[in-house]
Amino acid sequence: MTFEEFLRQSILTLITFVPFLGGGILMLLPEKNNTHKNIIRWAALLFSLIPLGLSILLWIWFVQSPEPCNSIVANPCFEVDWRWFPAINARYHLGVDGISLPLILLTAILTPLAILMSWDIDDRVKVYMGLFLTLEMGMMGVFVSLDLLLWFVFYEFGLVPMYLLINQWGSEPPPDAEERRAQGEIVRDRRYASVKFMIYTIAASVGMLLSIAFIGGVAGTFSIPDLTTLWPALEGGTGVLAEVGVPVVKTVTFILMTVAFAVKVPLWPFHTWLPDAHTEAPTAGSMILAGVLLKLGAYGFIRIILPLFPEQAHVFAPVLAVLAMLAIVLGAYASFAQTDFKRLVAYSSVNHMGFVMLAIAAAAWVGYGSAFAEGANRTSAIIAMNGAVLQMVNHGISAAAMFACVGMLYHRTHTRDLTKYGGVWAIAPAYGFVMGFTAMASLGLPGLNGFVSEFMVVRGVFPIGAGETAIFTLMVIISMLGLLFTGAYVLKALRNVLQGPVNPEAVELAHGHPLEMNIREGIAMAPLLVLMLVLGVYPFWLVEIINSTITVMWS
């Protein structure tokens, strides 16, 4: 076996576990003085750059592959299928297609940038960086797993480091937080946010674990590609299946899993953990949380719900569409109501992920494999799903950049209160440019990335259901109101922070530190800005890969 063969065979495993290994190595390093801390930081950055390098290599091999890597069912690429848990036939089964590849690359890009943005963390650097790398493993694992149980393990695994990052390194709590809490008041500090995040997600996942165990037990396999054909075709059985009937069982498992993913995305009305968690998380934590973790939910919909439950998804699609619309519109409104800069950005995620869900709902109506519609509906579903996956990547980039922008100011002034800012563009021109650029991408300005995907979603969803149901068209039209308000809250943030006379409060709070971004932050932001522009001007290279898989899925 040559080195290249070895690498091809194990590249997914390496991408997943190198960060974890790196985290373990970090634990062995000493952390006694500043030199040690710097070594830890550089080592963490290095360990996060390895998966990035490997992901780029993966991308190149993927594109150059003589056989199209367009389906985990028919043509899985870089597949690994090893024995893992023979008693229940769960396997170590990895593979990629055109949907997971962009998300793997997104994760690989965001993690080093987030580590760069955490350079100033001085408290228990070693543990912090270790947790961060562990988090990367959890996320990568979700995107490469083709085994339902393995998938679930990674999916849940990511929660732990994120919980600790928010709980320990989150925003400084108000000094009287514990007192007020003792008096029964709800104090929305990092402790509240981390517990809410953890409990909410785990509570929702319980039902999913049940469903997964049940599906695996009935089907005799946890392999997602196999289940894609086995589970929807299941018609009868013994035990519970016979007692309550297959349709009921399928509907119940569908609802349990849908709720789990809906919390993660988050879909309205399961979204209230998100503003708290995002607001209290450390800057890098928010970047990853918004950039990648939310995508796990949407990825779950695309990878598991739609292929495994086409009939149930078809039935519930209008409900999902209405909830997605509510996420878009109410998310935008709630964002507009904020005076907390970070919470404003946090709510924008609800707004943007609503578009992903709207597309998924419409595609669910058409059905996996275009089971329930064909012709124009099918074409539209493909466009909508392309838009959904692209929107996941785009939101990952722009939300992470937006949180980085908030973090840069918060780090200097320790306040997120919008009324304390003003005129920052005058005293920090480079920061002003970066934040303005990012805000415009977030707002969906044509020429930058967000517009392309939002347009594809709008175009894709608009005609779906022609002649049968007007619900999707209606939802798109109402969602436009959300798009209008996206503009309103972005401009509100820009006006309060960048424009107007210089507000001396922010300057004073910075204690003599200039508000202007430094070179390290510039380096961390540059790749994101370049991606926003490139994806906005010429998205062909990415959409081509997504489309290859979507076309097969909705064939």
Partner 1 sequence: MNIEILLWLIPLPPLLAFFIIMLFSRGNKVFADVVSIGAMVGTWVLSLIVLFTALGIGGSELGKHPIESSIEWLPIGEMLSTGEAAPEPAEGTEEGREIPANAVTEEGFRMGVILDPLNTVLIFFVPLTATMIFIYASGYMGTGHYWTLVLEGEDHHDADQHDEDHDVEAHHDDHGHHTVVDDAGRTIAHTDATKWKARFMGIISLFAGGMLLLTMADNLLLLFMGWEIMGLCSYLLIGFWNDRIYPNEPGRITPPFAGIKAFMTTRAADVVMLIGIAWLYSVTGTLSYREILYNEEVLHALEAMAFPANPLLAPLGLSIGGAIALLLFTGTVGKSAQFPLHTWLPDAMEGPTPVSAMIHAATMVSAGIYLLLRFFPLISLGWGHGVEGFPLQMQIIAGVGAFTALFAATIAIAQNDIKKVLAYSTISQLGFMVAAVGIGAYIAAAFHLMTHAVFKALLFMGSGSVIHAVEHGAEHAEHHGHHLPIDFDPQDMRNMGGLLTRLPITAWTFIIGGAALSGFPFITAGFWSKDEILLDAWHEAPIVFWVLAIAAFLTAFYTARQIAMTFLGEPRTVAAEEAGPTGFRMEFPLIVLAVGAVLLGYIGVHPEMPVFGPIFSPDPEGSPFKLFVGKTLLESPELLALEAPSVITSIIVALGGLAVGLLVYGLRPLQSPDSTDPLKRLLGPVHTLLANKYYMDELYDAVFVRPAQAIAVFIFLVLDRGIIDNLIHSIARFTEWVGFRNKDFDTEIINGFGDRFARSVAQTGQQLKYSQTGRIQQYLVVVATGVILLFGVFLYTIFLR
Sites for partner 1 among residues 270-289 (CB under 8 A): 271-272, 275
Sites for partner 1 among residues 497-536 (CB under 8 A): 498-505, 507-508
Which of 13, 89, 379, 518 is the binder for partner 1 (CB under 8 A)?
379
CB closer to partner 1, 251 vs 473? 473
Interaction between residue 175 and partner 1 (CB under 8 A)? no
CB closer to partner 1, 148 vs 350? 350
Q: How far is 118 from 404, CA to CA, in rounded Å?
A: 10
Bond before 269 cis per omega within 30 degrees = yes
CB closer to partner 1, 79 vs 505? 505
Interaction between residue 48 and partner 1 (CB under 8 A)? no
Q: How far is 388 from 549, CA to CA, in rounded Å?
A: 13
| Token duo for residue 184 | 């029964």
Q: How far is 336 from 489, CA to CA, in rounded Å?
A: 4
Which of 56, 182, 242, 477 is the binder for partner 1 (CB under 8 A)?
477
Q: Measured between alpha carbons, how far is residue 362 from residues 267, 384, 419, 427 in Å?
A: 15, 8, 40, 46
DSSP state string for 157-168: HTHHHHHHHHHH
Residues 213 and 205: beta-carbon distance below 8 Å: no
| Token duo for residue 342 | 């970070």
**Amino acid at position 259, single letter:** V
Q: How far is 504 from 378, CA to CA, in rounded Å?
A: 56
Q: Which stretch binds partner 1 (CB under 8 A): 80-88, 111-119, 248-256, 458-466?
A: 458-466
Interaction between residue 383 and partner 1 (CB under 8 A)? yes
CB closer to partner 1, 9 vs 473? 473
SS3 80: strand
Which of 66, 236, 467, 512 is the binder for partner 1 (CB under 8 A)?
467
Q: Which stretch binds partner 1 (CB under 8 A): 30-38, 103-111, 212-220, 265-273?
A: 265-273
| Token duo for residue 445 | 């300005």
CB closer to partner 1, 63 vs 477? 477
Contact flags string 183-202 toward partner 1, x per CB under 8 A? ---x---------x--xx--
| Token duo for residue 249 | 């069982």
Sites for partner 1 among residues 481-500 (CB under 8 A): 481, 483-485, 487-488, 491, 495, 498-500
SS3 18: helix
Interaction between residue 87 and partner 1 (CB under 8 A)? no
Residues 389 and 331: beta-carbon distance below 8 Å: no
| Residue 72 backbone phi and psi in degrees, to 5 | -75, -20
Tally of residues, the chain: 555
Interaction between residue 7 and partner 1 (CB under 8 A)? no
| Token duo for residue 205 | 């996942």
CB closer to partner 1, 135 vs 393? 393
CB closer to partner 1, 38 vs 555? 555
Q: How far is the CB of 55 from partner 1 (least distance, A)?
A: 22
Q: How far is the CB of 270 from partner 1 (least distance, A)?
A: 9
Which of 118, 265, 462, 535 is the binder for partner 1 (CB under 8 A)?
462
Sites for partner 1 among residues 308-367 (CB under 8 A): 330, 333-334, 336-338
Interaction between residue 440 and partner 1 (CB under 8 A)? yes
CB closer to partner 1, 53 vs 520? 520
Interaction between residue 425 and partner 1 (CB under 8 A)? yes
DSSP state string for 453-521: HHHHHHHHHTTTTTTT--HHHHHHHHHHHHHHHHHHHHHHHHHHHTSSS--HHHHHHTTT--SS--HHH
Sites for partner 1 among residues 213-232 (CB under 8 A): none
Q: How far is 337 from 344, CA to CA, in rounded Å?
A: 8
CB closer to partner 1, 126 vs 343? 343
Which of 256, 260, 358, 382 is the binder for partner 1 (CB under 8 A)?
382
CB closer to partner 1, 296 vs 494? 494
| Token duo for residue 70 | 């367009």
Q: How far is the CB of 538 from partner 1 (least distance, A)?
A: 7
DSSP state string for 277-324: HHHHS-HHHHHHIIIIIHHHHHHHIIIIIHHH-HHHHHHHHHHHHHHH
Q: Which stretch binds partner 1 (CB under 8 A): 52-60, 90-98, 289-297, 441-449?
A: 441-449
Give the number of other Cβ atoms within 10 Å of residue 112's Cβ: 21
Q: Which stretch binds partner 1 (CB under 8 A): 146-154, 301-309, 351-359, 446-454?
A: 446-454
Q: How far is 16 from 14, CA to CA, in rounded Å?
A: 5
Contact flags string 132-171 toward partner 1, x per CB under 8 A? ----------------------------------------
Which of 179, 447, 520, 530 is the binder for partner 1 (CB under 8 A)?
447
